[in-house]
Amino acid sequence: MKLVAVDIGGTHARFAIAEVAGGRVVALGEPVTLKTAEHGSLQLAWEAFAVTQGCTLPRAAGIAVAAPIGGDVIKLSNNPWILRPALIEERLNVDSWTLVNDFGAIGHAVAQVPDSDFIHLCGPEGPLPDRGMITVCGPGTGLGVAGVLRHAGGYHVVETEGGHVDFAPLDKIEDALLQHLRKTFTRVSVERIVAGPAIVAIYETLAALQGTPVARMDDKTIWAKALDGSDSLATAALDRFCLALGAVAGDLALSHGPKGVVIAGGLGLRLKDHLLRSGFGERFVAKGRFRNLMAGVPVKLITHPQPGLYGAAAAYAQEHDA
């Protein structure tokens, strides 16, 4: 059957026609990306997407939303849209639908995309295990964390708030980073260290340690300088970010039961080449008495271009056994 897959974030809402069968995604059409600022609601963006298709849309929807799912009203972060689940059928003219958190959708994508949509970062070569918990974490505006429990009957996605566990510094530079962040936050979570905006604090901490005065820059500017290599301090901040991400991913895997790990998110994909050359892998396994255990955990990066849309469709297929 066909359905509309939707992935709603703070800046963009993405749509595509998907086809599912046997509880899995079998096809995902060309995505259409709309700016949320140019549409007053999901219904209006949905209707704009329908115009691009030139036909009546399927009467089913899988919708991923960058917000906690639950309650009568869902308010999105960095997006003025308000979703009322009770009105989805009426407003979108659908007969069935599934609503899932955006990182829950990523978990569904991890469970269903083919092995060709992953690249190997560290640990044993080969596919992810078909049994046990796979940890999924993705640096973006925040740090998304989910678990995918694979079992004989299929899989189950566990949405978590693992990005908000406490940060544990591992050397003097990270001690200084923690002190820098405590000037603003009483409690420093790992999201303050390994999400896109965190590069600012890392950059400023390294500058202070170096005794180098720097102009205040936003995270986009620092990332651009780090990725093009035009600023050695920004490059150092990028290296430190990769180290911290390896440590955090390893901690999350230990918490879930270390069987496999997938790095996701748009920023994760942008860092592909840097993660492979960085100390990410060494920090991932550096867990004291559990080093040998962690060395046996495969760590992958998902490279599918639209995991949110794919995962929204997969979540619908699983819930409705479609």
Annotated binding site for ATP: 6-11
* Residues in the annotated binding site: 6-11
E strands in the chain: 2-8, 12-21, 24-28, 32-35, 60-65, 74-75, 82-83, 96-101, 118-122, 132-139, 143-151, 154-159, 260-263, 299-302
Residue that has been written with the tokens 């992953």 in this structure = 118
Residue 239 CA to residue 189 CA, distance in Å, equals 20
Full 3-state SS string of 232-283 = HHHHHHHHHHHHHHHHHHHHHHHHHCCCEEEECCHHHHHCHHHHHHCCHHHH
Half-sphere exposure of 4 (CA within 13 A, CB side): 30
The closest of 77, 233, 100, 255 to 166, measured between CA atoms, is 255
